[in-house]
Amino acid sequence: MSANAANTQTDLRDLHPPITPFDSGVLPVADGHALYWEQCGRPDGLPVLFLHGGPGAGIAPTYRRFFDPGRHRAVLFDQRGCGRSSPRATLDGNTTWDLVADIERLRRHLGLDRWLVLGGSWGSTLALAYGQRHPDRCLGFVLRGIFLFRAREVDWFLNGMGHFFPEARHAFLDFLPAAERATPLQSYYRRLCDPDPGVHGPAAVAWSRYEEACSRLVPRLSDTPADACLPLARMEAHYMMHQGFLDEGQLLRDIDRIAHLPAILIQGRYDLVCPPTSAWELHTAWPGSRLVMVPDAGHAAMEPGIRRAIVQALADLRP
């Protein structure tokens, strides 16, 4: 449910130019957590909140380039336990509703009344949860790679992707002892929560490689070191073990709370991490939404068609 940012300038010519934050800081929140945040663009511009994927992926400088520096006041932050937030890779006080409360605290800290919300993959889940809890603070939504955290979507991640990437799923399961392969989520979660780096490190790499292998229309091998994989793998497994801290079907059930707000939904036609059926169901339940189906993309935010669609959506959405 995450996507690594591309690194080369030539690959990103369809994004806005690189930009340096005009403000940044660390915000203490509940349960001993402290969140890194930054703002870029125009201080008097249209506020837009960016919610990264994972959970546990963190932000990257490339994500700033989705935003028009002459129009937007973009707010980006690392969610609990990842990126430059602290403590790192901790599961204490780390639930969907803790993160929703963090977003509200950050909004008040920055003195903003309302903002657009941009979220991808897990970020789309969190954006919907936040919007339904605080609809009066949202101007609209740009959501990418829709994930509604229903049981069948978690099962797809663990099992369904293997129909298209059998070699990746074989490696994912082969990491585990044969007796544990029937329950991969529980087996990985136990290892990812183990305090011994010799246990959680290899498990984090195996988990992350599986996801990375399935995330793009044209797969590439992940060489992310074990230490960098841990927050993503541990938190994804944690949230899956707890059904996203949501009732089954909750985000569709409560769509009426934000149905009056505009939304652009961006979905890769060949997204095998978050299959397009979820985007379609959300679109049909949300009268004010527009669905952009990108014909030549998988799941990752930095695939060319996806990133162009995000930039265009932010240009189109003028609340």
Token pair, residue 224, equals 């992310």
CATH number at residue 113: 3.40.50.1820
Told to judge if 247 belongs to the known catalytic residues of this protein, a careful annotator would answer no
Contact 125/273 with Cβ under 8 angstroms? no
- Tell me how many degrees the CA angle 288-291-294 measures, rounded to the nearest 5: 165
φ/ψ (deg, to 5) at 266: -115, 125
On the CB side of 155, CA atoms within 13 Å amount to 4
In tens digits, the chain (319 residues) has pLDDT values of: 544 443 433 468 899 999 999 999 999 999 999 999 999 999 999 999 999 999 999 999 999 999 999 999 999 999 999 999 999 999 999 999 999 999 999 999 999 999 999 999 999 999 999 999 999 999 999 999 999 999 999 999 999 999 999 999 999 999 999 999 999 999 999 999 999 999 999 999 999 999 999 999 887 766 667 778 999 999 999 999 999 999 999 999 999 999 999 999 999 999 999 999 999 999 999 998 999 999 999 999 999 999 999 999 999 998 7
Q: Are residues 188 and 291 in the same domain?
A: no
Q: Are residues 256 and 168 in the same domain?
A: no
The b-or-e profile of 14-53 (16+ CB within 10 A means b, else e) is ebbeebebeeeeebebeeebebbbbbbbbeebbbbbbbbb
Domain assignment present for residue 115? The answer is yes
Told to judge if 299 belongs to the known catalytic residues of this protein, a careful annotator would answer yes
**Ramachandran sector of residue 31 (left: φ over 0; alpha: ψ -120 to 50; beta: rest):** left
Query: pLDDT of 98-115, one tens digit each?
Result: 999 999 999 999 999 999
Domain assignment present for residue 182? The answer is yes
Peptide bond into 287 cis (omega under 30): no
Q: Are residues 16 and 60 in the same domain?
A: yes
Domain assignment present for residue 278? The answer is yes
Nearest 10 degrees: Cα torsion 73, 254, 81, 226: -100
d(CA 192, CA 265): 32
Q: Are residues 127 and 66 in the same domain?
A: yes
Catalytic residue among 134, 215, 271, 289: 271
Query: pLDDT of 33-42, one tens digit each?
Result: 999 999 999 9
d(CA 43, CA 286): 32
Catalytic residue among 33, 52, 85, 121: 121
Boundary residue ending a domain (216, 243, 270): 243
Domain interval for residue 209: 154-243
Catalytic residue among 52, 134, 200, 299: 299
Q: Are residues 297 and 310 in the same domain?
A: yes
Told to judge if 271 belongs to the known catalytic residues of this protein, a careful annotator would answer yes
Count of CB atoms within 10 A of residue 291's CB? 17
Domain count, the chain: 2
Contact 305/14 with Cβ under 8 angstroms? no
* The pLDDT value given to residue 86: 98
* The pLDDT value given to residue 11: 67
This prediction's pTM: 0.95
Boundary residue ending a domain (243, 271, 291): 243
Q: Are residues 89 and 141 in the same domain?
A: yes
Q: Are residues 160 and 122 in the same domain?
A: no
Boundary residue ending a domain (199, 222, 243): 243
* The pLDDT value given to residue 6: 38
